[in-house]
Amino acid sequence: MSKGIDMGNIRTAGLDDAPHILSIFQLCDPFASSIQRNDNISLIDVMDWLESATDKHPMLVFEENHKVIAWCSIEPFYGLPAFDCASEISLYVLPEWQGCGIGTRIFQYLENHRNQIGFTHLIAYIYSSNLNSQGFFKRQGFDEWGLLPNIAQDEYIKEDVCLLGREF
């Protein structure tokens, strides 16, 4: 099922994108949607993410027909100068658009702009139950670098988190 995706639809996210980014996150993250909690990610949190984005740690969106259908962020890994060339990647695509090549297009964009962004390593934290996301990152050349047992949890869910990484 092709939806006519065009590479030109990737752009830097702005504050106006915050509600769309939050909505996509809530649809894709099991902890964001498991129960209503006071400590869930909020619109203010997403606005903070956007305001802290830089050229070296961008937040990008993918639009189709002027609708944000995916987002990606590159964030600092660990925060010490020795790790400045390593970044954490987060990539979320609306469920109805998953499997259409959008994640691959975003990842190709990152690879093509890797020198400007300045990363040599990307690290992805993925819930162990999210086999689709693990498969996606492995197809992009990521390897398993570790497992964090039962690190994600709330009253209803306990989840291992897989560490996947790629050196460029």
- Residue range 2-11, pLDDT digits in tens: 454 455 599 9
pLDDT value, residue 2: 43
pLDDT value, residue 79: 84
pLDDT value, residue 84: 94
Handedness of CA 43, 97, 74, 124 (dihedral sign): positive
Write the pLDDT tens digit of every residue in 63-91.
998 999 999 999 999 989 999 999 999 99
Whole-angstrom CA distances from 39 to 68, 154, 157 are 25, 11, 15
The phi, psi pair for 143, rounded to 5°, reads -115, 160
Model confidence at 154: pLDDT above 90: no
pTM over 0.75: yes
C-beta of residue 94 within 8 angstroms of C-beta of residue 70: yes
Write the pLDDT tens digit of every residue in 85-138.
999 999 999 999 999 999 999 999 999 999 999 999 999 999 999 999 999 999
At 128, the amino acid letter reads S
C-beta of residue 98 within 8 angstroms of C-beta of residue 92: no
Mean pLDDT of 45-71: 96
For the chain, which domains are there?
7-167 (3.40.630.30)
Model confidence at 159: pLDDT above 70: yes
Q: CA angle, corner 63, sides to 62 and 64, nearest 5?
A: 130
Per-residue confidence at 30, pLDDT binned at 50, 70, 90?
Answer: confident
Residue 156, classified by CB atoms within 10 Å of its CB into exposed (0-12), middle (13-18) or buried (19+), is: exposed
